[in-house]
Structure 1
Amino acid sequence: MTTVAIPYHSGYGHTEVLAQKVAEGVRDAGQTAVLLKIESASQDFAPFIEEITKADAVIFGAPTYMGDVSGVFKVFADATAGVFFSGAWKDKLAAGFTNSHSFAGDKGHALASLTILAAQHGMNWINLGLAPPNVTAAERGPDALNRVGSFLGVAAQSDNASPEVTPPAGDRETARLLGERVAKAAVRWAAGASAAA
């Protein structure tokens, strides 16, 4: 069984909803999800780094604040520098998800930051793999998959309301599908590595 680590920060609970759905997708694929909630910039990240090092794949999650990942997530990312120098995450699979209030909000920039973090570590990025809906109001409703139209990863949108009701069902399902996609890819990746050995 492969393991997918999901390190994430959630300031108001909306990104945590996505993290839970990503983990559900990993489990739906028959694999193990390890949720790693980043609580604050001052916490000890060593246990998280250890879990990610043991995992077969990682799915990073952070809200988009001011056009980029949250500052708390960035502190975690900076704390992975020791792993960068050792190369311990090289060739792992990686993916990402983000969330913000607006439909755009420069979520693409936040996802690019997650992609670059993975690339710095020599990881292999798994994109969302879902086409966006057609550009009609009926097809771009709250139940639509990839309704914001992102390709790098999940880009969800949440209103200023409780995480119990937002992000909507389509964004939640998009996150679940990302978890499932990465878990299945990790199984194939591990099988290929075994065959090559």
Structure 2
Amino acid sequence: MPTVRIAIVYHSTYGHTARQAQAVCAGVEQVPGAQALLMTTDEAQTRWDELNLVDGIIFGSPTYMAGVSAAFKTFQEASSHAVLAQGRAWQDKLAAGFTNSGALAGDKLASLMQIALLAAQHGMHWVNVALPPTNNSSQGSDQELNRLGFWLGAAAQSNVDQSADVVPPESDLATARHLGQRVAALAMQLARGKASLGIAA
């Protein structure tokens, strides 16, 4: 069985998005043969060589003022010089994204779109969350996966007056685990396909 490596690159100021990132990491590691590399955006900027060798990257940022955080944007812009200028090393890798905000909607879609465009600029293949919205009927529940109804990536909501040891809620963390598992499973499928065709990884 081939092995795959998935990096989770995230920024978190108060710890809420870090918990989401840890859940994504746990989801990756649920797939046999998949290894997760968890790193902050600051750490990532010292580990470009490692990121160039992984099979996929799942990006995460809190949503601040209708977009990704300044720290994530710094990493995003640094990738232009460190990766694009060095021969498009991320091209054809898998990519996905997650974000967290204090409000239920909180313009999280804007952040996911920014992250998806980052992946597109690198020539990566975007993986969506592949979950229907669940908390959208009288029979729905905020205890279910994708309770916030996002398709592009994993979204979480953390009450602004609660610490990271309380929020995001378990349903949002489970959604993050689902995304990590999905990306790792798809990476494994691609790796097996390449191996069967005799294509070098």
TM-score, scaled relative to structure 1: 0.93
Q: Aligned-pair distance for 1:139? A: 1.9
Contact 2:135 2:149 in 1 (8 A): no
Match in the other structure for 1:172? 173
**Separation (CA, whole Å) in 1 of partners of 2:102 and 2:117:** 23
Q: Aligned-pair distance for 1:164? A: 1.0
Match in the other structure for 2:156? 156
Match in the other structure for 1:120? 121
**Identity across the alignment (%):** 45
Match in the other structure for 1:36? 39
Q: Could you say what secondary structure the match of 1:12 adopts?
A: coil
Match in the other structure for 2:88? 87
Match in the other structure for 2:75? 76
Superposed CA offset, 1:55-91 (max 9, x none): 1111000000001000100000100013113111000
Closer, same or farther: CA 44–127 of 1 in aligned 2, 3 Å: closer
Superposed CA offset, 1:77-114 (max 9, x none): 10001311311100000001000000111100100000
* Structure 1 position 63 matched with structure 2 position 62: yes
Q: Could you say what secondary structure the match of 2:100 adopts?
A: strand
Match in the other structure for 2:21? 19
Q: Aligned-pair distance for 1:134? A: 4.6
**Separation (CA, whole Å) in 1 of partners of 2:44 and 2:56:** 21
Closer, same or farther: CA 90–62 of 1 in aligned 2, 3 Å: same
**Separation (CA, whole Å) in 1 of partners of 2:135 and 2:146:** 10
Contact 2:135 2:144 in 1 (8 A): no
Q: Aligned-pair distance for 1:46? A: 3.1
* Structure 1 position 185 matched with structure 2 position 183: no
* Structure 1 position 110 matched with structure 2 position 118: no
TM-score, scaled relative to structure 2: 0.91
Gaps of 5+ in 2: none
Alignment root-mean-square deviation, CA: 1.4
Superposed CA offset, 1:140-183 (max 9, x none): 32x22101100000011101201111110100000001000000
Amino acid at match of 1:72: A
Runs of 4+ in 1 over 6 A off after TM superposition: none
Q: Aligned-pair distance for 1:138? A: 5.7
**Separation (CA, whole Å) in 1 of partners of 2:8 and 2:96:** 10
Match in the other structure for 2:4? 2
Q: How many residues align?
A: 192
**Separation (CA, whole Å) in 2 of partners of 1:113 and 1:190:** 28
Closer, same or farther: CA 35–147 of 1 in aligned 2, 3 Å: same
Superposed CA offset, 1:106-131 (max 9, x none): 10010000000000000000000111
Q: Could you say what secondary structure the match of 1:4 adopts?
A: strand
